[in-house]
Amino acid sequence: MEFLKSSKRRSLLSELIYILLNVALAVAILVVVWAIASPIAAFALVLLSKWRVLAVRPRYWFANIQANLVDIIVGVSTVVLLYAASGALAAQVVLTAFYIVWLLLIKPRSKRTYIAVQAGAAVFLGVTALMTVSYDWIASVVVLAMWLIGYSAARHVLGSYEEAHISFYSLVWGLVMAELGWLAYHWTFAYELPGVGDIKLSQTAIIVLAISFMTERIYASFIKHGSVRSTDVTLPILLTVSLIIVILAFFNNVSIGAN
């Protein structure tokens, strides 16, 4: 009985330390953003928090890095958006609070629904951050970054299924994202939002997230039933197509911000 009580106390202590360390990481990143003009130190904090990825034999490094890409993308994107929100304290606090929620409540979950949410967060935040800072980058870098976001998100979702061709499908989806990235580099709109500094709501991020959601629903229906059932995918397809049509038809001539 004493052993059980001791184990329970250690478990509670470990959980408390875990919570404190993650909160400290998010707050430390915010402090670094306030104190240092360069994002390099904040990026370093995000990467250092993943030290366990390399705390194994080198032959496992690549697999561990792939497994943690979604978390890394969310962390790096949060840093980019925090810097873009410089001067907008409320927006920076909200972003920090989101990152704490991500670290404590979203990232640790392994249920398939949460995995889809994790991948969706990486897609939306990753593309938003990329479109925020890449206006003067060369096209190849933007395309490569979009490919990485797509590949990482697809692999993350497919890993929750008994899929035999994870790498192939992830590469295909990465290619789709890369093509969308190439189009976005040459033609995209971004909507200004009040009180968030230089952060803009990227049209590309909205469209890519909608397409990703639709594709995931189609894949899930096929895996569950052996074929794609209209009852499973009609609503996601209609929602995605309608959203894209509305955005392209009615929000491309609005003078609230464009890149």
Among 55-64, 120-129, 221-230, the range with the most confident prediction by mean pLDDT is: 120-129
| Mean pLDDT taken over the chain | 90
* Residue 192 domain-assigned (yes or no): yes
Question: What pLDDT, on a 0 to 100 scale, did the predictor assign at position 255?
Answer: 44
Domain membership of residue 126 as a residue range: 2-250
Q: Confidence band (pLDDT; 50, 70, 90) for 135?
A: confident
Furthest-apart CA atoms within the chain: distance in Å: 70
* Residue 77 domain-assigned (yes or no): yes
How many other C-beta atoms can be found within 10 angstroms of the C-beta atom of residue 95?
25
* Residue 258 domain-assigned (yes or no): no
* Residue 256 domain-assigned (yes or no): no
Q: For residue 227, is pLDDT > 80?
A: yes
Q: How many domains does the chain have?
A: 1
Does residue 252 or residue 248 have the better pLDDT? Answer: 248
* Residue 257 domain-assigned (yes or no): no
